[in-house]
Structure formats: structure tokens, C-alpha cells
Amino acid sequence: MLPLAEAWARYEAIRDRLPAAGAPGRTRQVAGLLDVADEFDGFLFDSFGVLNVGETAIPGAAECLTALRRMGKRIRILTNAASYTGDAALAKYRRMNLDVARDEIVSSRDVTLAHLGSVAQGLRWGAIAAEDDCFADAVGHAMVDLLDPGVSWDAVEGFVFLSSARWTVPLQDRLAEALMRRPRPAVIGNPDLVAPREGGLTVEPGFWAHDLQDRTGIVPRFFGKPYPEAFEIALSDMGPGRYAMIGDTLHTDILGGQAAGLATILVTDHGLFAGQDTAPFIAASGIVPDIALPSI
Ligand SMILES: [Mg+2]
């Protein structure tokens, strides 16, 4: 677990590795998403802190999605979740009674696997993944579980970081040493530094990745918000229109939305800033959402 102040300082310390923020304007405060729904043709939703916290839907989220569909709004879920497949994400939304279709979900895992061939062709990838991940969706790629005791770290030709669930400081030290000994591509499937969960902020692949970059000089390829590929995939089949990115974090959702040329909406009562006044964070970072609301 990481305190918010530390996570925030780290996000600001790596700002030059993130897309540039949009020109700072003023944030308009509204009560809920339906208050501004008329202004947009559709929405790109972050998941954690907007639709759900952990395995629980945020009160009102299901009703909001239903109302937006009645209004004919286009919907995408743009989530930096790489630990499980898109099909597993769909099952999770179903369990929470959130009306979402598979082709509306764009997870950073999907984005990473879709772009892996552009990083390098034909490599044997060692994946840092959740337990029992079988990589069935890594179609066309040779991928093994790096934490499988039978896998030699010297025999893999690139590293893909999908989940920090089993990652530890000693493993990080070992990976840094392996990369120093023989540099290889590192691909990060979740750029988040932390994730808000029921017990506090957990350390996520992005956090470990920036530490690796500091220690080895190897610049990882990040896929997912705030980087452009996730937005390109999400927007590719939505058609022209006025779209807004809605999320709970400034350095991923809002920054990425601005870089993609979207309107941005910050959710303040759940997720990263739950229980905090967001104004000082917005002022300190210069990442200014167009709209803020407590909860959808
Ligand atoms: Mg979130």
C-alpha cells in the first residue's frame, strides 16, 4: 500500500514521461453526469472509481448507464486493467449488473496485446501476470509466466508487465539485474502507479516500470491511459462526435483525455481522491478537467 501523498509525488516526478496537459481552463462543477449528457454524443468511462470500486458497483452507476442508453449515447469502458481478459471483465460487469457489451470494453490488456507485434516481432515474452493467467488472448505471441519456477529469465526475450498482484521488491531487484545484464524490451500493460481498492492504494505495474527505467535506463513501452493507443482503439469505431473521458485520476484519465482531444470529466467522491478536496491537486498539477462531479 502507498499513501496518496507519495503516489501523487511520484506521478508529478514522472510528468516528462507522460503526454502534455491541455491548456488550463476552468472546471465547471455539476451534480451528476446526466446534467451534462446533452452536451455529448458519448462517453469513455474509466472503470475503477467511476463505475465500480473493487467488485462493487458504485450506487447510481447502473441507472446512469441505462439512462444514457435511452438517450442514444455511445459508451466505451476504457480501463487500465491488464490482470484479466476482456471476457473476464465482461463477466465482472454482468455480476455487478452493469449493462456493458464486450465490444464496448477497451482494456489496456487488449491494447497491449494488439500492439505487442509493433514493439518486436516473434519474441518469447515473459509475462508478469496474475496467478493462473493462461494468455489465451495473446494470439500469435509466445508468452510464458515469468513466475513459473520452470521458466528461465535468461531465456525470455522480452518482458510484459500485466499484473503486480504477485510482484515484490526482491523480484524487482532480480528483474533490474537481468535487464542490466542483457537489455531487452519491457512492455507495460497498465501505466497506473496505484489503484484505489477497499483497503487503500495498491502499487501497480506503472510504478514498478518507472522504477525499472530509473535503475536500468531502459525505456519501457506503456499501453493504456494516458498514452494514445487506448484512446485510438476506443474512438476508432465510435464515429465522429463530441465525446468526453470521465475518470477519477488526473494523470491517467484527464491527462489522456486531453491529449486525445476529448472533453474531460473528473469524478471526485470515489477512487483516487475519495475523501479529499481535489482543488489543490488540480492547481498543483495544472491538469484541469473541464467538468467535475461527485459521482455519476
Ligand atoms: Mg480509475
For the segment 19-37, the average pLDDT, to the nearest whole number, is: 94
Write down which residue in 222, 247, 281 finishes a domain.
Answer: 222
- Asked if 132 and 58 sit in the same domain, the reply is no
Please, is 144 exposed, middle or buried when counting C-beta atoms within 10 Å of its C-beta (0-12, 13-18, 19+)? middle
Confidence of residue 200 (pLDDT cuts 50, 70, 90): confident
Establish if 240 belongs to a structural domain: yes
Distance 23 CA to ligand 1 centre (A): 23
DSSP letter assigned to residue 12: H
Residue ranges in 50-186 assigned as alpha helix (H): 61-70, 86-95, 108-119, 169-181
Distance 268 CA to ligand 1 centre (A): 11
In this predicted model, what pLDDT tens digit does every residue of 258-273 receive, in sequence order?
A: 999 999 999 999 999 9
- Asked if 76 and 49 sit in the same domain, the reply is yes
Confidence of residue 103 (pLDDT cuts 50, 70, 90): very high
In this predicted model, what pLDDT tens digit does every residue of 110-164 receive, in sequence order?
A: 999 999 999 999 999 999 999 989 999 999 999 999 999 999 999 999 999 999 9
Question: In angstroms, rounded to a whole number, what is the distance separating the alpha carbons of residues 188 and 209?
Answer: 7
Distance 186 CA to ligand 1 centre (A): 24
Distance 193 CA to ligand 1 centre (A): 11
Q: Which amino acid is at 26?
A: R
- Asked if 100 and 39 sit in the same domain, the reply is yes
Confidence of residue 171 (pLDDT cuts 50, 70, 90): very high
What integer pLDDT is reported at residue 24 of this predicted model?
82
What integer pLDDT is reported at residue 23 of this predicted model?
86
Q: For strand 263-267 and strand 291-293, is the pairing parallel, antiparallel, or unpaired?
A: parallel
- Is 121 within 8 Å of 148 (Cβ atoms)? no
- Asked if 123 and 218 sit in the same domain, the reply is yes
- Asked if 193 and 264 sit in the same domain, the reply is no
- Is 74 within 8 Å of 42 (Cβ atoms)? yes
For the segment 275-289, the average pLDDT, to the nearest whole number, is: 95
Establish if 50 belongs to a structural domain: yes
- Asked if 91 and 139 sit in the same domain, the reply is no
Write down which residue in 176, 200, 222 finishes a domain.
Answer: 222
Distance 183 CA to ligand 1 centre (A): 32
Establish if 171 belongs to a structural domain: yes
In this predicted model, what pLDDT tens digit does every residue of 57-92 receive, in sequence order?
A: 999 999 999 999 999 999 999 999 999 998 999 999
- Asked if 104 and 126 sit in the same domain, the reply is no
Establish if 154 belongs to a structural domain: yes
Distance 248 CA to ligand 1 centre (A): 5
What integer pLDDT is reported at residue 266 of this predicted model?
98
For the segment 269-278, the average pLDDT, to the nearest whole number, is: 92
Distance 121 CA to ligand 1 centre (A): 32
Distance 247 CA to ligand 1 centre (A): 6
Distance 50 CA to ligand 1 centre (A): 6
Confidence of residue 102 (pLDDT cuts 50, 70, 90): very high
- Asked if 235 and 215 sit in the same domain, the reply is no
Distance 45 CA to ligand 1 centre (A): 9
What integer pLDDT is reported at residue 238 of this predicted model?
93
For the segment 4-16, the average pLDDT, to the nearest whole number, is: 96
Distance 257 CA to ligand 1 centre (A): 13
Distance 53 CA to ligand 1 centre (A): 9
Domain limits for position 77: 4-109+226-293
For the segment 161-182, the average pLDDT, to the nearest whole number, is: 97
Domain of 141: which CATH number?
3.40.50.1000
Confidence of residue 198 (pLDDT cuts 50, 70, 90): confident
- For residue 199, pLDDT over 80 is answered with no
Distance 21 CA to ligand 1 centre (A): 18
Q: How many domains does the chain have?
A: 2
In this predicted model, what pLDDT tens digit does every residue of 221-271 receive, in sequence order?
A: 999 999 999 999 999 989 999 999 999 999 999 999 999 999 999 999 999
Distance 51 CA to ligand 1 centre (A): 9
- Asked if 210 and 237 sit in the same domain, the reply is no
Establish if 114 belongs to a structural domain: no
Establish if 176 belongs to a structural domain: yes
What integer pLDDT is reported at residue 178 of this predicted model?
97
- Asked if 8 and 103 sit in the same domain, the reply is yes
Write down which residue in 172, 188, 222 finishes a domain.
Answer: 222
- Is 236 within 8 Å of 188 (Cβ atoms)? no
Distance 122 CA to ligand 1 centre (A): 33
- Asked if 132 and 144 sit in the same domain, the reply is yes
Distance 89 CA to ligand 1 centre (A): 15
Distance 81 CA to ligand 1 centre (A): 10
- Asked if 262 and 175 sit in the same domain, the reply is no
Distance 33 CA to ligand 1 centre (A): 16
- For residue 27, pLDDT over 90 is answered with yes
Confidence of residue 196 (pLDDT cuts 50, 70, 90): confident
What is the share, in percent, of the chain residues with pLDDT greater than 90?
90
